[in-house]
Structure 1
Amino acid sequence: MAQNPRTSETDTTPNADRNNGLHRRTYVRSLAAVVTAATTLGAAGTAAAQDDYEVIEAANQNITIEDGETWENKLIDMTNGQDITITTVGSDWTIRNVGFKGKNNSGTGSATFGISDAGGSSTIENVYLGDGSDGRNGSSTGHGQTAFWVDPDHSGHIDMQNVNIQGFADNAVYGSSPGSGGGGTIHIDSCFAANCRVSHFRLATEGSKVTNSGVLVDEEGYAGRGIWAWAPGTIEIEDCQIEMNGNHTAIDAGANGQGTEVLVRNTDYDEQAGIAEHAGSSVQLEGDSGTDPEALIPSGTPTSAEEAAAGDD
């Protein structure tokens, strides 16, 4: 599998440099090169029809969501130890009602979703990735599995709503790359991320925000940052609960020597984990923000793969 260009929490390479040489087009081509045949909608490994959704068996394949297409009502069976990657191209695509059953034990160090929108507006809603991944690093990258990786070329807008991500070894939503590329925005709303390494929600561009969402760290060994804001910002956090139980940092602003600004409204965060401001960054607390968080799965966010795949019907 192709690897998304990522930086660990200790990297010092500037954000722009680490994204050079692997943009969305080469990412898609390299993904396709390592599978027997690159798959598109509806043709992925072993599929079995259900009353409400299609079952797709992970088989180290890539599924490409094309410009303007909708990919929905899928249950991805991860129980055989293989990987799967879903990549988007173009604009105005939709991913909804998708559940991943079983832990990703492939050890490839890839991203389950490689996403970007080329100037329009796209949607991800009702997705379950709550079974997580194992803790191994990919053999060639030194990185573990990422749930969502946003391509540096992302120049449009992506709405993520009612997404449940837990137990991933390398970032739940890695959305900072457009900060040194296309400048696209991401709105994470009514989502839940728990017990992931490095970070849970990671954003960089002005207009990107996390709202009505929860972050929870209550397991040993998965102490990733709650929300990590990269340059240039400004990043907004509103009506969120960031319950870290003293692990790592609740809100971390700035990275790799570059500062940013974060606006926090009506949000509770773990006081012991606290707030960090690097390289001249500023975190501004507004409204009724406090230090008594209770991170719950937002109403409407799926709690199982089957629930997500079946959707509202």
Structure 2
Amino acid sequence: MAQNPRTSESDTTPTAGRNTGLTRRNYVRSLAAAATAATTLGGVGTAAAQDDYEVIEAGNQEITVGSGETWENKLIDMTTGQDISITTQGSDWTVRNVGFDGKNNSGAGTATFAVSDAGGTSTVENVYLGDGSDGRNGRSTGHGQTAFWVNPEHSGHIDFQNLNIQGFADNAIYGSAPGNGGGGTLHIDSSFAANCRVSHFRLATEGSKVTNSSILVDDEGYAGRGIWAWAPGTIEIEDCQIEMNGHHTAVDAGANGQGTTVVLQNTDYDEQAGIAETGGSTVELGDDTGTDPEAFVPDGTPTSAEAAASGGN
């Protein structure tokens, strides 16, 4: 998939063991048993009819969601060992109820979702990407797999709600690029990210925020930053749990010599991992900020691919 290049900031944290047990899917029914019919999807891969969702085999296809469109109730079979990429265009689109069954072992180094909104408000909700990716970089990109990448041209607003992203090799939500581009905003709410490399939630623009969400880094996967705030900011973090178990940095403010501002409210972060302020950045801690985090999967967030695809959790 042709995507705008992602900035590859240095990250000295080595890759640890892979995530094998943390809030993994409880079960996923046999795709062979679930599939009742097969049809060609865009000339690449197959899709199977389902009572409540469509099963799509990853076959290096590119799917585009345009203005006003809704792409929903999909179960993506990643056990093919190939990639799939979903790109949004225009504004006021919706992606919901999508589950990815199996680790992305394609080595493509793409972003599974490349999203932007051109001046409106779009929504991503109820998505399971909890099986992660392997650690290889794509030959053409030089990057590992990213779960969500926000195009620098993004100028509207995107609501991310009830996402479960674990074990990705290059950011869970890479949302900082609009800070040097279209200036669009992001709101990540009631979501869970764990054991991703580089960072979990990465934001840059005034009005962007993370609320009611949890981040976990333990000894079972990649060890990236909890939340990475880029210029210009201000970035708001409220009602969150950032449990790092001493790995990397809980909240990292500033990058590439440019400062930003982060405001924490009613949030617990790992004191050992700590807070970094670079490039003249400031992290403001509210009186209700604590240092005893307990990460958890928020209510309504899917814990399996099938649950996400069928609209449950």
Q: Per-residue displacement from partner, 1:266-307 (whole Å, max 9, x unpaired)? A: 000000000000000000001411000000000000000000
Name the CA shift for 1:6/1:67 in 2 (closer, same or farther; >3 Å): same
Quote the offset at 1:3 in angstroms. 4.3
In structure 2, what residue type is equivalent to 1:257? G
Quote the offset at 1:310 in angstroms. 0.2
**Structure 1: segments with no counterpart, 5+ residues:** 12-39
Please give the TM-score of this superposition, normalised by the length of structure 2.
0.88
In structure 1, what residue type is equivalent to 2:45? G
Please give the TM-score of this superposition, normalised by the length of structure 1.
0.88
Name the residue aligned to 2:119.
119
Quote the offset at 1:312 in angstroms. 4.2
In structure 2, distance between residues paired with 1:106 and 1:73: 23
- 1:1-313 residue pairs with structure 2 within 5 A? 1-10=1-10, 45-219=45-219, 222-312=222-312
3-state SS in 2 of match to 1:308 = helix
Higher relative contact order (CA 8 A, sep 6+): 2
3-state SS in 1 of match to 2:67 = coil
Name the CA shift for 1:66/1:176 in 2 (closer, same or farther; >3 Å): same
Kept in 2: contact 1:41–1:71 (CA 8 A)? no
Aligned-pair identity in percent equals 82
Number of equivalenced pairs: 285
Kept in 2: contact 1:3–1:141 (CA 8 A)? no
In structure 1, distance between residues paired with 2:41 and 2:262: 38
In structure 2, what residue type is equivalent to 1:292? D
Quote the offset at 1:80 in angstroms. 0.7
Query: Where does structure 1 differ by over 4 angstroms across 4 or more consecutive aligned residues?
Result: 40-44
Q: Per-residue displacement from partner, 1:198-231 (whole Å, max 9, x unpaired)? A: 0000000000000000000013551100000000
3-state SS in 2 of match to 1:179 = helix
In structure 2, distance between residues paired with 1:221 and 1:92: 35
In structure 2, distance between residues paired with 1:64 and 1:142: 24
Quote the offset at 1:119 in angstroms. 0.1
Kept in 1: contact 2:302–2:312 (CA 8 A)? no
**Structure 2: segments with no counterpart, 5+ residues:** 12-39
Quote the offset at 1:51 in angstroms. 1.0
Kept in 1: contact 2:41–2:47 (CA 8 A)? no
